[in-house]
Structure 1
């Protein structure tokens, strides 16, 4: 049972926290926002996916922009796409009485440079899975579709369930502590900020002070 003083955690914020706890604090506590090319690209991809109505397809049917929640963990979010594939051994029974395998598909603009599974991406989908499993009463599979290479990466949730669960549980606890404290974390030493859309919000650039220029301005007045 969740505490009466707990703070609900938005699943999308997990990626921000993994990238930088300070970014997470600026977004969730200060409600700061700024966009760069990466953010805009991601927004466009999600808009395209979410604008679809889902419906029937060759291998079953799909739903887009599905709101998910898990009351026990007090987390919520929106899944890009949920696919329901006919499977006689599937653990989800649809309204038509048929069995289906359920797969969560998250859409991302770029695949990691090393071609491996991105931890922030897989953790985000696993958190969605913890919600979807409760909502649909099944054991959802997970995948990430990378738009730049037009390929889908299947996530190893069945074989690494305990690892992902402990990781997500720990992250949610840390995030909730920050939300309840209302204090924005300091920037981590060695944090790479070049790709962060909040770089100028986090570390505002100040004009360098010039004694000569200051005197010139005074004389001009």
Structure 2
């Protein structure tokens, strides 16, 4: 099918669609980016695309005073979800979805950075996330969301029990970075160098984890995204 449009709402340049971009193009989507704080848009502009992907970034959804564009993002995402329009959120994107659905998002004072497996809930094991059972995924966050009313929790880790949720048939929020291309991990290590230093994390360890886990994860991620898109 052709003529479909996907928009990725991007908050920092290197946290892009990654592995998801070629899958969208294979399915006939025209793909555009909206760069938060640079490209101005009204909340209703987020209703138009056939698919909206809300990407990650190193800010919190509760920082509207510092980053006023978050107000329009949250309102637009809320309108889109209420209208039953396909929406995928990754990390900050999932937190924005949760906030738009009325759930709390808060800073934990902790970080979860690196490759580690998820524990799928019963619903998660029966969902599009089934290929991730036992597969280490890339975590890179310190905030956490509550599961919105009407949504289903799909996955957890020991430190962050709310890792993914499904909202109706059209909304999927992922706390972890399933889209990240392991072949481009260096841009993450440079772009988040300050955060890694503050957390006492060695980039050489993450680089080695990406090389070891990335190919396996990319295969599982492709299965997840293809099933969800289909």
Does TM, normalized by the shorter one, top 0.5? Answer: no
Say which structure, 1 or 2, has more relative contact order (CA 8 Å, 6+ apart).
Answer: 1
Q: TM-score, normalised by structure 2?
A: 0.28
Task: Please state which structure has a larger fraction of its residues in strand.
Answer: 2
Larger Rg: 1
Q: TM-score, normalised by structure 1?
A: 0.29
